Structure 1
């Protein structure tokens, strides 16, 4: 009998061990880096937790190229000066004026925005004077108290995202299942990746840096690796390659780790996000719940890999032992 099956079994086992090693290496390398990035995610300073938020309503008079926005969840203002004149902001910190040169940007905490802890009674209007060259300009705004969310529905959606991802993934890694389940799992990988991109873009809009590549990379940190690994994991999943499980497992656990602290947004009224707050909560539901689901699916995929077994030697081909001749 040929011994070719034994050789094939050893090759298959070596390939599986290599793929598992690659997945483990990705997890070991990315997880500690992700923990560091999670502490600084969303900017260089931790936003102050408040229940109200100032809004910029207008610049009087309007100056083309001059933009003032609220950042860090209402804690500070950022001025982007794309005019040809320096912009002076008097009395920003300890009575000292701040001068922003043409093409520059500055962020500061301004007490003139009002008390964030005060109840929403009376007038919440505020004004900050500027000078664009010799032209006096006033930034006018008000303060709003958005209602706090009910956390239970958001946590319920997160659990549903986890269970739904694990259910779809379980069908995809089941032996003998058609490719439709793998297509659905690949779609889930792309959705989780896209949700994290939305979360990072929104976070980059409310940091000290003006909108751009620098702010985007600063908000993403090591999480930017998921933007590359996610599409690659989806492509390998469609092909039924086991390395796809290592990649989407790494994507899942990294996105879940990076958005763990963001689940506090289910309890807070004001978020450090440059868009609708519910959009950030939806992105957190998908990245945290779906990410954990992908990690569990990857573990399931590896556990269902059959180890290569060496076939028992065929004793029928063994050379018979020659009987010794009887003594004379």
Structure 2
């Protein structure tokens, strides 16, 4: 390996190390699941209160309440005990409410402390200074980890309404009822998912393993870069307690822009017939695509997708990131070796006579 190629390899290894450390933290905003066969939504808030918004997150697993009014919203626990107060001075949670501890686990598998008593006088602990809060609420999701709802188990080939749910609360002294529904939809057929994505891995790898020029690899690089940008641009709006949507987009765009830059450099190298450089850049891009796509890989076999764009586009993007990324790593390594060997085998030019 010549000096320029050796220096390039060192730089690429440094980039790979940086991506391995920095990429996963930025790849997925919110840290929750990106796909699920369940889905929840709020159907009504009665009476509607201007300045108070309620929505469910994570396919029905969490409830978000934003209260921009001057009046406090209170939410009871599962035994109708005081649980939350959300208002102008922030969020206060009752340390004696069993819901404080039950909500720490998705399936309520906790041992309650001795002080968790719904009949005890509330002990309010401030958990936020903002008038908004996201909490896990067992009233809005399916509670069995290993068993499907009976209707789903009886016929998993079609969608079902699992149950309708209610979360009571109060705006000052006015009772408010939040109603919603939890649904289930059949996921894509596993055989089809695996077949399509293994075929994509093979097709992308073949651009480096078999193609006579790096031009075919350039096409895979361009598609991978575009998928990274789309995946970042369709980042869903995060919970109000996490960050702004703009901040979430910026966080997701940083690795995507890096991927686009690597893809562009690879395409330019391929057009100049620099096969070794194209192959090495394909390895870097493949690694970056995997880092971005793997946190969201569950969208490939889930009925519902957490995305700011169309579900189909989200599936395609993650499929390219994961399967295409794996193919680029394999194909890029093969291309770098093949084209390097070809350069070594190429006869040196005949010396020209002087004079």
TM-score (norm 1): 0.69
In structure 2, relative to structure 1, the CA distance for the partners of 1:169 and 1:49 (3 Å cut) is closer
Quick check: which one's strand share is greater?
2
Extract unaligned runs of 5+ from structure 2: 91-129, 152-159
**Cα distance in structure 1, aligned partners of 2:134 and 2:245:** 16
Q: 1:48 to 1:293 in 2, by over 3 A?
A: closer
2:177 is the alignment partner of 1:138: yes
Instruction: After TM superposition, give the deviation of residue 51 of structure 1 in Å.
Output: 5.2
Partner residue, 1:213: 246
Residue 43 (str. 1) matches residue 30 (str. 2):
yes
CA distance in 2, matches of 1:132, 1:100: 9
Pick one of 65, 69, 76 that aligns with 1:84.
Answer: 69
CA distance in 1, matches of 2:254, 2:285: 8
Residues 57/247 of structure 1: CA separation in 2 closer, same or farther (3 Å cut): farther
Which of the pair has the greater relative contact order for Cα pairs under 8 Å at 6+ separation? 1
**Greater mean deviation of Cα atoms: 251-260 or 139-148:** 251-260
Give the Cα separation in 1 of the matches to 2:217 and 2:40.
47
2:188 aligned to which of 149, 154, 161: 149
Distance (Å, rounded) in 1 between the aligned partners of 2:263 and 2:309: 28
Check conservation: 1:50, 1:116, Cα contact below 8 A: no
User: 1:297 — aligned with what?
Assistant: 331
The answer to whether residue 229 in structure 2 is matched with residue 194 in structure 1 is: yes
Structure 1 pair 42–73 and aligned structure 2 pair: CA distance change class (3 A): farther
Q: 1:206-242 CA distances to partner (integer Å, 9 max, x unpaired)? A: 6852651344466x4xxx5432222222322232266
Query: Equivalents in 1 of 2:316, 2:200: separation in Å?
Result: 11
For the pair shown, the structure with the greater C-alpha radius of gyration is 1
Instruction: Count residues in correspondence.
Output: 287
Relative distance call for 1:234 and 1:275 in structure 2 (3 A) is closer
The Cα shift of 1:76 comes to 0.8
Task: Give unpaired runs (5+ residues) of structure 1.
Answer: 1-11, 315-328
The yes-or-no answer on 1:72 pairing with 2:65 is no
CA distance in 2, matches of 1:216, 1:27: 23
1:119 corresponds to: 150
